[in-house]
Amino acid sequence: MVIKVLDGYGLNPGDLSWREFESMGSVTVYDRTSPEQIAERAADADVLLTNKTPLTAAMLRSLPRLRYVGVLATGYNVVDVAAAREEGIVVTNIPAYGTASVAQTVFAHLLAIAQRVEHYTDENRRGRWSRSADFCYWDFPLVELAGKRMGIVGFGNTGSAAARIAAAFGMEVWAFTSKSAESLPAGVRKAELDELFRSCDVVSLHCPLTESTRGMVDAARLAMMKPTSILINTGRGPLVVERDLADALNAGTIFAAGLDVLCSEPPESDNPLLSARNCFITPHIAWATREARERLMRIAADNLRSYVEGRTVNNVAV
């Protein structure tokens, strides 16, 4: 079995092993593959593994040997699943591997905004505290999370995990979810979306990207929020209209935003959020702890092994 990894560097820059895949066939790992290189590299593949390298309908139909695509992520929009189904190609994904890491990143952003630890560390390395006339100083409002209301949009694995952390901080948790109010954990209140944006001090996005959620955080919804409120997005970049968020931050419509995802990754240098006031951006790393990547690699290998043994799991092309 010929296995080709089209963009292995993102998952494994060298600190993990492809050994489990090598036990199932001949493995070739490419760090990155441009769209122009896909056809040549995939021509003899029985199995393709991809994270962000797109596999279009035309590409899938041009690869007669291909029988399996393993997406090295939860989201599988990089593969034309309908075309794969027509061609009899199995497509699997990796569900729920990064729940703890993504929820942790929500609060890394929230605490960065609330406390500005890195800012003060940098200032003190430059000697500012040593020169201070007072025993302390602060440059930004310091925010206590206890007692604040956190709104979670989407109450799946990561939303639920974020809710548990919020509760541990003493926050009140509201959730916009299709789940019934009776099925939510004790202390979590079900809310309508606009009510959540109007009432919550922190709004954290955890819903999937669909046609109904694309651009859901726009100028109108941002205008509903409190001027002291904080938006966190570790979900999908296109949930947010970036120009509208930049304008809201610069105008003081909301206080701050913590983002791990953007509409285009990597972003264009003129993306308005890169220079927006109180906008904290990390380069899509919520998923990338070593623990989460090891889990992803293990599940990806288990997915392929199950397919080889005739008991396909996590198949999204059904």
Tokens of 120: 């003060």
Burial 111-144 (b: 16+ CB within 10 A, else e): ebbbbbeeebeeeeeeeeeeeeeeeeeeeeeebe
Tokens of 44: 């003899």
| Helices 99-115 & 117-125 angle (0-180, nearest 10) | 60
Contact 200, 150 (CB under 8 A): yes
Whose structure tokens read 């998952």? 11
Element (H, E) at 222: helix 219-224
- Strand 279-281 relative to strand 256-259, pairing: parallel
Active site (catalytic) residues: 236, 265, 284
Cα 270 off chain centre by: 22
- Torsion angle of C-alpha atoms 27, 32, 34, 35, degrees rounded to 10: 50
Beta bridge partners of 152: 175, 204
Environment class of 229 (CB within 10 Å of its CB; exposed 0-12, middle 13-18, buried 19+): buried
Q: What is the DSSP letter of 267?
A: P
